[in-house]
């Protein structure tokens, strides 16, 4: 289970709320691509992306929680997914390389970083010129679950952060009843 703002989500619950396959399709993720899951938790999206990109592709997973990365590595091993490179670290200080990633994903974590602007700058460094950034996050609505309202980013706030970091926002849309997705390019 991934923990987002102190709230644990299992795969079944997440799938009731949104389709991860549709989110990866929105990002045009395909075989042979390089995918970075920043704030990956235990790899909900990393594992799916590894299957999509296949052996010709690569998935970088990053999370500050060593336990989550351990769970991700164990599950990748069980599924024989050898194309996942999971790292423990802070998104403010890790860059997987420059101009080498096709899709960077932030899944319900952008509001959790100490310095979201620095994290977005790092994402910009990693992305190829034609690449996309995907921000899936909680709507800023009152709910009996999820992170506290005061730390959530509205669609407008997330878009403004992306624009300030030099991204062009391409799409903002609902991703189910509790989440939105923002797609941006360099």
pLDDT digits (tens, 9 = 90+) for 105-159: 999 999 999 999 999 999 999 999 999 999 999 999 998 888 999 999 999 999 9
Q: What pLDDT sits at residue 145?
A: 87
Reply yes or no on whether the pLDDT at 10 is more than 90.
Answer: no
Per-residue CA distances from 129 to 117, 133, 161 (Å): 19, 11, 19
Quote the radius of gyration of the chain (alpha carbons, Å).
15
- For 2-185, CATH number out of 3.30.70.990, 3.30.70.270, 1.20.910.10, 3.40.50.150 equals 3.40.50.150
User: What's the mean pLDDT in 9-31?
Assistant: 87
Reply yes or no on whether the pLDDT at 24 is more than 50.
Answer: yes
Per-residue CA distances from 4 to 9, 17, 19, 185 (Å): 8, 15, 18, 25
pTM of the predicted structure, to 2 decimals: 0.92
Q: What is the largest CA-CA distance in the chain?
A: 43
């Amino acid at each position: 289970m991934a923990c987002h703002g102190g709230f644990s989500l299992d795969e079944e619950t997440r799938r009731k709320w949104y389709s991860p396959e549709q989110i990866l399709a929105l990002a045009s993720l395909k075989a042979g691509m390089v995918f970075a899951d920043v704030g990956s938790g235990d790899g909900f999206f990393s594992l799916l992306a590894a299957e999509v990109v296949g052996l010709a592709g690569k998935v970088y997973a990053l999370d500050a929680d060593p336990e989550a990365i351990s769970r991700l590595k164990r599950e990748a091993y069980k599924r024989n997914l050898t194309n996942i490179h999971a790292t423990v670290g802070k998104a403010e200080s890790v860059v997987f390389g420059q101009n080498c990633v096709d899709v960077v994903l932030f899944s319900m974590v952008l509001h959790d970083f100490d310095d979201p602007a620095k994290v977005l700058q790092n994402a910009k460094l990693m992305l190829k010129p034609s690449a996309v950034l995907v921000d899936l996050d909680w709507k800023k609505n009152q709910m009996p679950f999820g992170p506290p309202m005061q730390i959530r980013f509205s669609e407008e706030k997330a878009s403004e952060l992306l624009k300030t970091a030099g991204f062009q926002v391409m799409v903002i849309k609902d991703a189910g009843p509790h989440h939105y997705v923002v797609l941006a390019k360099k």
